[in-house]
Each structure stands twice: as C-alpha cells, then as structure tokens.
Amino acid sequence: MKGKPLADRIRAEVAEEVRAIGHIGLVTVLVGDDPASEVYIRLKHKAAVEAGFDATDLRLPTETTQQELLDELAELNESDDVDAILVQLPLPSHLDEEQVIRAVSPAKDVDGFHPMNAGELYLGRPAIVSATPRGVMALLEEHQVELDGARAVVIGRSDIVGKPLSHLLQQANATVTLCHSHTRDLERHTLDADVLVAAVGVPALVTPDMVKTGAVVVDVGMNRTEAGLVGDVDPGAAELAAAMTPVPGGVGPMTIACLLQNAVRCARYRRGDLVYPASSR
C-alpha cells in the first residue's frame, strides 16, 4: 500500500481548493534547531508552498521564553491573514508543551492536538484530526480494506498517532485493541489482527511471526538507523500480509497530504463555510 500516489492526488485536490478559496495562510512555528524538526518543517513548508498556500516559516530561537511564545501565538490567533497554525513538537525542554498546545486557537489548530479537537474526536464528531491517523484511514479506504467488524490492533498509544487512530478505527466499526509498552504477550494480540498498525518507534518490533496470514499491516514507524530509514515492522512480514505499507513511501507522504487538507478545513472554518466544530457531521 504505497502512500505516494494517493498523497499526490490529495495534494493536487488541495491545490485546486486553495486556488478556489484564494489566500490561505499557514504558519509553521519552529522553536530552536532540532535537526529532525528542521527536516519535518522544511518538508511541510515545501508542500504547503507547492499547493499554493501563503506559508510562513516562523523560526524562534531556542532561548524563547514561554511568555514570548504564548504572545506570538496570541497574535497569530488574532491575525486575519492566518488560517492555520502548526507548532512543531517537541519544544525545547524549558517550554511547557501542554500549555502551548492549548494556546493555539482550536479552529486554527491544523495538527488537531488541542484538547477541544481531541475531545470532539473522542466523542465521535471529528473536527480537526491529526494528520497521520487521518492518512492511515485514507490509505485503508483507498485500498478498500474492510473495517466494519474487523479486528484492528494498534501498537502505540501516543496522543498524535495511536490514540486518535484507535478512535477513528472504532468509529469505522472495527473492534479495536490498543497495545503499548505494558502489554503482555504482544503477539497474542497481533496474531489476532485483521488490520495491524504499528506506531511505536522501535525498528522491526513486529516480526513476521507476529502477523496473521492475510492481515493488512500499516507501518507508521519512522526510525533513523545506520541502515537508513526503517519502520516498526520487519519488511519480511509483507510476504504474509495481504497488503502492507512500505517505509519510506507509505504513511509518511499521507501525513503531509492530510496536514494540507486540514489547513483547507481551517480556512473554511474561518470563512464560515464550515461551522467549527460541528462540520463533519
């Protein structure tokens, strides 16, 4: 299940929507100079510019104080030129990430990390949903993977991937098991999975003997190793799986495409085409 063809299509659709709407302002905020964050911001910014967004790549020094960052976000929240705001995580350790996430206006929260957006998802009324889980769902839909009644197992319960994805799968009528670092006998669960998602950050945590023949496997993991970028699933599992996402080129491109879709959604909220948060019902 390659991500790039669908991601390219979504990005082309987004570019059309941006053209139709006119100006859409997306501001990415990077505090400090974490090299991995630099790469992510560069990719997101490039994709946004290519899709026609008015994209601002705001860089703040590592020593930025909490108050300075909050003041900056308050200004962006108020600005009529800004539709969508993304604060790249993780923040330098002296900053309070939770408070910063809460400080972004929920309707401009393109990452969907604000408690308001997380809560709407939890209640089954998704408004702005974080891009990676949305990308996974879009890939499954594109490949016509039956979710209704299926057993879905998600490994990883982070706020940005595992947890929101478990809600989306459950809302698609899958029976969901959410595994984590305290799960006993992980393979007991994975071997039962019709749809298996790994979002852990441990190279090749999922070995072929943990995958049921004919399962659909989604590898969210992006781990930089000496052998290059690898996922959380041993590529050998593809021989047993009915379908599996590659790393790289699977979920990664979908994340960026869905992030841009979220930015269009933010623009529609601000223009009143959609009413926040009751848009997707």
Active site residue 44: yes
111 is catalytic: yes
**Angle CA(242)–CA(247)–CA(252) in degrees, nearest 5?**
105
Toward ligand NAP, which CB reaches closer, 50 or 75? 50
Position among 69, 200, 216, 258 found at the interface with ligand NAP (CB under 6 A): 200
Q: Please select the residue that binds ligand NAP; options are 64, 88, 105, 132, rule is CB under 6 A.
A: 132
> Nearest distance from residue 245's CB to ligand NAP, in Å?
9
- Residue 118 is encoded by which pair of tokens? 């997380």
Q: Residue 139 or 172: which CB sits closer to ligand NAP?
A: 139
**262 and 242 in contact (C-beta within 8 Å)?**
no
**Binder among 29, 107, 174, 222 for ligand NAP (CB under 6 A):** 222
C-alpha 270/C-alpha 255 separation (Å) is: 23
Marked catalytic residue, from 83, 109, 111, 234: 111
183 binds ligand NAP (CB under 6 A): yes
Q: Which stretch binds ligand NAP (CB under 6 A): 146-154, 158-166, 187-195, 265-273?
A: 158-166
Half-sphere exposure of 278 (CA within 13 A, CB side): 1
Among 37, 56, 158, 175, binds ligand NAP (CB under 6 A): 158
**Residue whose beta carbon is closest to ligand NAP:** 158
- 199 lines the binding site for ligand NAP (CB under 6 A): yes
Position 229 contacts ligand NAP (CB under 6 A): no
Number of residues this chain uses to bind ligand NAP (CB under 6 A) = 26
Does position 221 bind ligand NAP by CB under 6 A? yes
Q: Is 181 in the site for ligand NAP (CB under 6 A)?
A: yes
Name which of 82 and 193 has its Cβ closer to ligand NAP.
Answer: 193
Encode the chain in three state secondary structure.
CCCHHHHHHHHHHHHHHHHHHCCCEEEEEEECCCHHHHHHHHHHHHHHHHCCCEEEEEEECCCCCHHHHHHHHHHHHHCCCCCEEEECCCCCCCCCHHHHHHHCCHHHECCCCCHHHHHHHHCCCCCCCCHHHHHHHHHHHHCCCCCCCCEEEEECCCCCCHHHHHHHHHHCCCEEEEECCCCCCHHHHHCCCCEEEECCCCCCCECHHHCCCCCEEEECCCEEECCEEECCECHHHHHCCCEECCCCCCHHHHHHHHHHHHHHHHHHHHHCCCCCCCCCC
- Give the nearer residue to ligand NAP in terms of CB position, either 161 or 241: 161
Q: Which two tokens stand for residue 38?
A: 């630099």
CB of 223 to ligand NAP, least distance (A): 5
Chain positions 9 to 68 lying near ligand NAP, rule: CB under 6 A, are: none
161 binds ligand NAP (CB under 6 A): yes
Residues labelled catalytic: 44, 88, 111
Applying CB under 6 A, the residues found at the interface with ligand NAP are 132, 155-158, 160-162, 179-183, 186, 199-202, 205, 220-223, 251-252, 255
